[in-house]
Amino acid sequence: MSTPAIELDRVTLVRDGRVILDDVTAAIGRGEFVGVFGPNGSGKTTLLHAVLGLLRASAGGLRVFGAAPARGNPEAGYLPQHRASVEGLRLRGRDFVASASNGRRWGLALAGRHEDDIERVLGLVEARALALRPVGELSGGELQRLLLAQALLGRPRLLLLDEPLESLDPRFQQAIVALVRRIARDEGITVLFTAHELNPLLGAMDRVLYLGNGHAAIGGVEEVVTSEVLSRLYATPIDVLRVDGRIVVVSGYGAIEAGAHRHHA
């Protein structure tokens, strides 16, 4: 049996003096597409930072492909939630992607193997038509393709995507999810995909990882996204409604899904 892509063994993560995740155990297999969900402050971004080696676990063991997380791990590609504005930027799409192969700074394309890799990732994300266009003129969905291309440079085996659907309309959301699913399958990449709503990812995920109240539940959608499991996770009554193929998670204070999932933790 192969080593999991990510292993958490009773992991506790603390940020700014606050316990974000407490005694969490989970394993994510190689090649799995896992959606990561939870309300504001539940620890989605914090978990990705720990996997990237940007935050050390306060307790427990965290391993990535059998090794301790390390900053700059070439096996992990990352698309962060908060990115610099590109409004009005005249940099061409190709050079924007190339900038990530040079210390993640805006600059000109590099020669040699970097050139080949840039062409490869532009093809993977179906963005060759964007190569010569200024990034400041691109739509949100088009820009997300170039950001995804950046994360795929160097052939990572693990892709960490933090809220890539934020601010996209439903049509672009579905296109990005389908694109990531196809790339992950074709390239054998493990994906952790955080989102504030389940529904756009329902047809793509192998499993879900739900975070709440410092704890976690992982499994198939039908196993985890239930009133019983989420009520236990949040220590408050939760209703899970299924209407016309969509899932709505509701507490006594209203819908948990939607804008309530945007966060910085």
Annotated domain spans of the chain: 1-75+158-265, 82-155
pLDDT of the residue at 259: 39
Arithmetic mean of pLDDT, 216-226: 95
- Among the listed residues 166, 122, 177, the one whose alpha carbon sits nearest the alpha carbon of residue 140: 166
Please give the angle made by the CA atoms of 244, 246 and 247, to the nearest 5 degrees.
130
Arithmetic mean of pLDDT, 205-215: 95
pLDDT of the residue at 251: 79
Does domain 1-75+158-265 bear CATH number 3.40.50.300? yes
Predicted confidence (pLDDT) at residue 45 exceeds the cutoff of 80:
yes
Predicted confidence (pLDDT) at residue 170 exceeds the cutoff of 50:
yes
Across all residues in the chain, what is the average pLDDT?
Answer: 88
pLDDT of the residue at 252: 62
Predicted confidence (pLDDT) at residue 202 exceeds the cutoff of 50:
yes
> How many residues comprise the chain?
265
Give all strands of the β-sheet with 254-255 in edge-to-edge order.
238-243, 246-251, 254-255
Arithmetic mean of pLDDT, 166-189: 94
Taking the CA atoms of residue 128, residue 129, residue 131 and residue 135 in that order, the dihedral angle to the nearest 10 degrees is: -130
**Token representation of residue 19:** 């316990």
Q: Which residues make Cβ contacts (< 8 Å) with residue 218, sequence separation at least 6?
A: 26, 28, 34, 207, 208, 209, 210, 224
Read off the pLDDT band of 104 (50, 70, 90): very low
Read off the pLDDT band of 261 (50, 70, 90): very low
Read off the pLDDT band of 228 (50, 70, 90): very high
In the chain, what percentage of residues exceed pLDDT 70?
88
